[in-house]
Amino acid sequence: MQIRASAEDYLETILLLSKKTGAVRSIDIVGEMGFSKPSVSVAMKKLRENELIRMDTDGYITLTPRGEEVAERVYERHALLYDWLVSIGVSEKIAAADACRMEHILSGETFEAVRQAYEHRRNG
């Protein structure tokens, strides 16, 4: 199943918020991502329908195992791309924005090549 970049961004945000606060509700996502409540509500419905998240009766959101797998992969890509961009002289602000876009479009092969080049450069 192909997961859209926007869904990946929501899953990554849920992952990071859950690590930071332990509990995530839609309003937390609104605050973090700056989207409207209706937009987040529609997105959460789609993520539930695709079995990427669960929402309990109190509105608390958790990632399903599949959702967590996607979120962790996206976050790993984002973190490595951000670090790599900063290491080659890109400002932190631009690196954060570019890493967010790049994490969704790079093929697995290209990402692995970037990872290897970055680790080689970092380790010596």
The residues, any chain, with a CB within 8 Å of residue 121's CB and separated by 6 or more, are 87
Helices (H) and strands (E) in the chain, counts: 6, 3
Q: What is the pLDDT of residues 92-124, one digit of tens each?
A: 999 999 999 999 899 999 999 999 999 998 887
Q: Which fold has domain 72-123?
A: Diphtheria Toxin Repressor; domain 2 (1.10.60)
> Could you give the angle at the alpha carbon of 15 between the alpha carbons of 12 and 19, nearest 5°?
140
Write out pLDDT tens, residues 5-48. Answer: 899 999 999 999 999 998 999 999 999 999 999 999 999 999 99
For the chain, the structural domain boundaries read 5-70, 72-123
Domain 5-70: CATH class, spelled out? mainly alpha
